[in-house]
Structure 1
């Protein structure tokens, strides 16, 4: 399994940073060749499934993720969302955290453990680097756009 960590400090209130990183369909706009849907539709809560469909044609696959922790930031406290990957191709988990940062800014932390089925563990370093790159760019884009 490949583990990675991405951190950003942004000049946003905690609740706005949280809103930007948990509008799930926007993740599809930020990750190449990906469309995201939420099941069931409506507000996110524990038990919500976020399904990212990535690829093209017959090479596309679903990456279903179940929200197992949903704690939006309240009264200046840290917010945390944990997604457990439940798919056939991509396994692991992701955590999105928003906490108070220096100077009234928001500190956003994206932690992920990812394993791609049929990809040998000898390629974990490649998966780690490519995931950090793709999701780092996605996080930057999500945080920039209101």
Structure 2
């Protein structure tokens, strides 16, 4: 399983950072060939489903992610969202966390990916690509 963790500091207040981090359609703006939206619910409650749909020529697949934990940040409380990947080609999960730091916040994005059909020795490449792609998403989401 490919694993990576991204950490970014931002001058945004935690609540504003959280809004951006959980604005699912904005994620698709920086992931090549991918649209992201909410397939069930609001995308902000346990049981909701966020869907990333990737299409590149004849290659097409869906990456449905179920929200299994969702706690918005508040006074003395970090924001936490756990997503379980429920699709066939992509399994694993993601954890998004926001915590107050000084006058801003720190955002952490941790992901575990298992791609059907790829051998385990490809995990470091998948993790490197994940860091690059999702790092760009995170940077864009946290821009002031």
Q: Which has more strand, going by share of residues?
A: 2
For residue 44 of structure 1, report the CA deviation from its aligned partner: 1.8
Q: Which has more helix, going by share of residues?
A: 1
Q: Are 2:9 and 1:9 equivalent residues in the alignment?
A: yes
Q: Are 2:99 and 1:107 equivalent residues in the alignment?
A: no
Q: Are 2:130 and 1:131 equivalent residues in the alignment?
A: yes
2-side partners of 1:43 and 1:6: how far apart?
Answer: 22
For residue 9 of structure 1, report the CA deviation from its aligned partner: 0.4
Contact 2:24 2:43 in 1 (8 A): no
Q: 1:43 to 1:136 in 2, by over 3 A?
A: closer
For residue 35 of structure 1, report the CA deviation from its aligned partner: 0.6
The TM-score normalised by the length of structure 2 is 0.95
Structure 1 vs Structure 2 CA RMSD: 1.2
1-side partners of 2:55 and 2:118: how far apart?
Answer: 16
Instruction: Give aligned pairs, total.
Output: 144
The TM-score normalised by the length of structure 1 is 0.94
Q: Are 2:68 and 1:80 equivalent residues in the alignment?
A: no
2-side partners of 1:50 and 1:141: how far apart?
Answer: 19
Unaligned runs of 5+ in 1: none
Q: Which runs of 4+ in 1 moved over 3 A?
A: none
Corresponding residue of 1:69:
69
Q: Deviations over 1:18-40 (max 9, x none)?
A: 00010001111121111112022
Corresponding residue of 1:46:
46
